[in-house]
Structure 1
Amino acid sequence: MPTYVAFLRAINLGPTRKFPKADIVTATGAAGCSDVETYINTGNVRLTSGLRSRAKVEASLEKAYAAQTGFAVPTLVFTPAELAEIAADAEELTRPDLERHYLYLLKDEPAKDRVDALLAKEGAADQVVVRGRAVHLLFGSGYQPGSVDPWGVEKALGVVATNRNFNVVTTLAKKWCSPSG
């Protein structure tokens, strides 16, 4: 059975969208998945599924998660190879002057005209890199904590997205995408 890595969007934010890891594991099993493992409580899940289509895996998980929680949980699924490639891109893009490196993982690859419009925004070209289903936000020295996404990536690209930081993405790739992972 194929292995997938799922990223859950907008959980454990505030008092009404709680979805503890134990409940994630239960709901993932209810979706017919096995070998379920989670990493920190931000909605990172490794699983195996008999389903062969990313869209079918996402739909199955979203249905089970909604049944478990009572609210919609947008879910973005990647193969281990896809996640390893995103992590390799992140490693390539990192530089010593970066204060923060956030990644937006996208449900679908964005349209070229939407990417071009995002990159044309003032100051974005040097700090936003779009590769396939991942957007890298690179914040150099002088970064002031505040908005994780001053460019409105999800809205600008018109796709469902969830964000993680550099450390989470590269750690998951090492943990779940290596031959021994």
Structure 2
Amino acid sequence: MQTERVTTYLAFLRAINLGAKRVFPKGDIRRVVEDAGFEGVETHINTGNVRFESRMRSRERIERVLEKAFMADRGFEVPTIVYSAAEFRAVAQQTRELADAHPGIARHYVYLLKDELTPGQVADVEARADGRGRMVVSGRAAHGLLEPGYQEGAVDPLSAAKLLGVATNRNANVIRTLAEKWCDA
């Protein structure tokens, strides 16, 4: 009898720990993910980064299971974006390549997307380029490459986030750290 293979996944929770009403400490996140039936659960910093293992193969199904569990535990919606470790490793590689190709950027944000954009949506997002920076979309990731002098403290100075659908962002350092820690990259 053949056993189903376990796959490593990374989940990124959107809009948590942004005020008094959307609090979701990483210890509670870990507990809820374990209670939902996932194994090998780890969290990284308190911004909604979770690593776990599952025999489930459907990313969409995993997202639904987690979102339902988070809602039951917290009482508010927690949009969740899931990548396999292999998919995330590719995002980290893109992040490295873009950083190497643009050595003078001041900030590099990576928007992790729930769904791939259509070619028209990609064109709209990438058309946001101006003197403050540019957006580069690849698969389910959109990279905000911000030039020196962009509005300091602004995560979305190009106003592209509203075009991305359900997404959450992390800076390039977090992407690299998670890939090294959880994806053997």
TM-score range, shorter chain: over 0.9
Q: What's the counterpart of residue 72 of structure 1?
A: 77
Q: What's the counterpart of residue 162 of structure 1?
A: 168
Mark the runs of 5 or more structure 1 residues left unpaired by the alignment. Answer: none
User: Does the Cα contact within 8 Å between 2:135 and 2:145 map onto a contact in 1?
Assistant: yes
Q: How large is the Cα RMSD of the aligned pairs?
A: 1.6
Alignment-mate amino acid for residue 89 of structure 2: A
Q: 1:171 aligns with which of 172, 177, 180?
A: 177
Alignment-mate amino acid for residue 64 of structure 2: A
Look up the SS of the partner of 2:82 in the other structure: strand
Residue 99 of structure 1 deviates from its aligned partner by 1.0
Residue 144 of structure 1 deviates from its aligned partner by 2.7
Look up the SS of the partner of 1:61 in the other structure: helix
Alignment-mate amino acid for residue 174 of structure 2: V
Alignment-mate amino acid for residue 98 of structure 1: I
Measure, in 1, the Cα distance between the counterparts of 2:151 and 2:104: 14
User: Does the Cα contact within 8 Å between 1:100 and 1:139 map onto a contact in 2?
Assistant: yes
User: Does the Cα contact within 8 Å between 1:124 and 1:151 map onto a contact in 2?
Assistant: no
Residue 126 of structure 1 deviates from its aligned partner by 5.4
User: Does the Cα contact within 8 Å between 2:136 and 2:144 map onto a contact in 1?
Assistant: yes
Measure, in 1, the Cα distance between the counterparts of 2:183 and 2:33: 19
Look up the SS of the partner of 1:25 in the other structure: helix
Q: Report Cα offsets for 1:129-179 as digits up to 9, x if no partner.
A: 00000000011222331321123333223x200000000011000111117
In the alignment, is residue 82 of structure 1 matched against residue 87 of structure 2?
A: yes
Percent same amino acid at aligned positions? Answer: 52
In the superposition, the TM-score normalised over structure 1's length comes to 0.93
Q: What's the counterpart of residue 58 of structure 2?
A: 53
Q: Report Cα offsets for 1:79-125 as digits up to 9, x if no partner.
A: 11111111111111113311110010000001111111222235189
Runs of 4+ in 1 over 4 A off after TM superposition: none
Look up the SS of the partner of 1:127 in the other structure: strand
Q: What's the counterpart of residue 27 of structure 2?
A: 22
Alignment-mate amino acid for residue 151 of structure 1: L
Measure, in 2, the Cα distance between the counterparts of 1:113 and 1:125: 22
User: Does the Cα contact within 8 Å between 1:76 and 1:107 map onto a contact in 2?
Assistant: yes
Measure, in 2, the Cα distance between the counterparts of 1:82 and 1:140: 27
User: Does the Cα contact within 8 Å between 2:129 and 2:135 map onto a contact in 1?
Assistant: no
Q: Report Cα offsets for 1:2-61 as digits up to 9, x if no partner.
A: 110000000000111000011001110121101000000000000011211101110001
Measure, in 2, the Cα distance between the counterparts of 1:155 and 1:140: 20
Distance 1:156 1:89, change over 3 A: same
Look up the SS of the partner of 2:23 in the other structure: coil
User: Does the Cα contact within 8 Å between 1:99 and 1:141 map onto a contact in 2?
Assistant: yes
